[in-house]
A and B are shown apart, each in its own frame.
Chain A
Amino acid sequence: MTDAKTPKGEWRYRAYFRLMDASLFFWIVLIIDTFVSPYDDPDTFPVWYAVHGEVTIFFCLFVSLFLVFARFMRDDYAEGLRKRTFVLLGYGAVVGPIFINIGSWVIYYTTLILNEPGASLDGTVPQRAPDYIRWLLVNETTVDVVLGGVSQVFLGSFIAIFRFLRWKDSR
């Protein structure tokens, strides 16, 4: 389907889309791995798991970053797709944090009022707030770790939105 959009001849134009697909695949692997990792302790990793980790990081960081820039690998269609992806990504980056903020503060205060009626609303941490709310609003994390996470979300969304727009075009 999408092959109709891809000009024949230049191998690098086709390679761009192949690399995009490969990156998306490893981003999905990374997400699954984050939630259901079979091994927790780096000392007991079997070799295949360590290799899988290296390959995943290679694709999710280096290949993805390379694909953002590699101008020489994009034909006009891919260039247009990249622009549209960035526009959508920009909307997401502006609107997303607003909703996350509103949502988590609403949950925070609702749990506070429900669980501890009569508690003052300044500075107290609701004891029974959900873990993810405590992680967002209470637990202390260093700035560079969060920055790395934000960067990952941004880069992963770039790959995912790019594929989504391509899929929508091909329908």
Chain B
Amino acid sequence: MTDLSASNEPVKYRVYYWLMNAALVYEIFAHSFITAYGVMPGDLDPLIEGLIRTVLVIFQLLIVPLLIIVPWWRDEYAELLWKRAMVQLAVLMTVAPPALLTVITVISEFFIQGDLSNWGGHRPDWLLAPLLEETWVLNTVSNVWVMFTSAFVILFQWNRWRDSR
């Protein structure tokens, strides 16, 4: 679909879609990688590890933010998709943290606070572990930022896919 509308456009518009696709592949790759290995598998060849780190850094810190903020890079259709993704993302961003915090409060007040013996020694403390972990403030902010930019790419592609059906 988009190839049709983009075929006569300047190169930069085609590069935009191309990089967007690459960014989606990167998101899937990076997030499954991190889910599977924590951050990095321990016994990697330093060269391969360096290569993976370079790809992660270039995409996460350079390409994805640039795809979001550079205004002259988008043709009209991409502009439309961008705006839709941004509004959806902002709504998500306003409602997700309060909802999440409410769920945490409910879980910790009504389920996890109970006597350990009621749980037969299997109280599900791990449910809250990622959220009650202690770390420096900017680390959390950066993690939220990574989720935010990743969600943008996913929403953009999702809207594009829905249009093309």
A, B assembled together: yes
Docked Cα-Cα span, A147 to B144, in Å, equals: 8
Query: Which of the candidate stretches A51-59, A86-94, A115-123 sits at the interface with the other chain?
Result: A86-94
| Interface pair B94/A93, CB less than 8 Å apart | no
Docked Cα-Cα span, A97 to B142, in Å, equals: 7
Among A68, A100, A141, A147, the residue within 8 A (CB) of B91 is: A68
Chain A interface size, under 10 / 10 to 19 / 20 to 34 / 35 or more = 35 or more
| Interface pair A148/B97, CB less than 8 Å apart | yes
| Interface pair A147/B138, CB less than 8 Å apart | no
Interface residues of B in 60-108 (CB under 8 A from A): 65, 68-69, 83, 86-87, 89-91, 93-95, 97-98, 100-101, 104
Q: Please give, as numbers and ranges, the residues of chain A lying within 8 Å of B95 by CB-CB distance.
A: 65, 68-69
| Interface pair A143/B140, CB less than 8 Å apart | yes
Interface residues of A in 113-171 (CB under 8 A from B): 135-144, 146-148, 150-151, 154-155, 158
- Which residue of A is nearest B93, CB measured? A154
| Interface pair A90/B68, CB less than 8 Å apart | yes
Q: Please give, as numbers and ranges, the residues of chain A lying within 8 Å of B104 by CB-CB distance.
A: 144
A111 vs chain B, min Cβ distance (A) = 16
**B111 at interface by CB-CB < 8 Å:** no
Q: Please give, as numbers and ranges, the residues of chain B lying within 8 Å of A158 by CB-CB distance.
A: 90, 94
Q: Interface size of B by Cβ–Cβ distance < 8 Å?
A: 34
Docked Cα-Cα span, A98 to B142, in Å, equals: 8
**A18 at interface by CB-CB < 8 Å:** no
A4 vs chain B, min Cβ distance (A) = 26
Q: Please give, as numbers and ranges, the residues of chain B lying within 8 Å of A90 by CB-CB distance.
A: 68, 86, 89-90, 152
Docked Cα-Cα span, A150 to B94, in Å, equals: 10
Among A69, A104, A155, the residue within 8 A (CB) of B138 is: A104
Known: A136-B137, A141-B135, A154-B94. A147 touches B101 (CB 8 A): yes
Q: Please give, as numbers and ranges, the residues of chain B lying within 8 Å of A144 by CB-CB distance.
A: 101, 104, 131-132
Write the residues of chain B forming the contact surface with A, with a CB cutoff of 8 angstroms: 65, 68-69, 83, 86-87, 89-91, 93-95, 97-98, 100-101, 104, 130-138, 140-142, 144-145, 148-149, 152
In the complex, 30 of the A-B residue pairs with CB atoms within 8 angstroms, ordered by the A residue number, are A65-B98, A68-B95, A69-B91, A83-B87, A86-B87, A86-B89, A89-B90, A94-B145, A95-B69, A97-B144, A97-B145, A98-B145, A104-B138, A137-B137, A140-B135, A140-B136, A141-B135, A141-B137, A142-B132, A142-B134, A143-B132, A146-B137, A146-B141, A147-B100, A147-B101, A147-B140, A150-B97, A150-B144, A154-B97, A158-B90
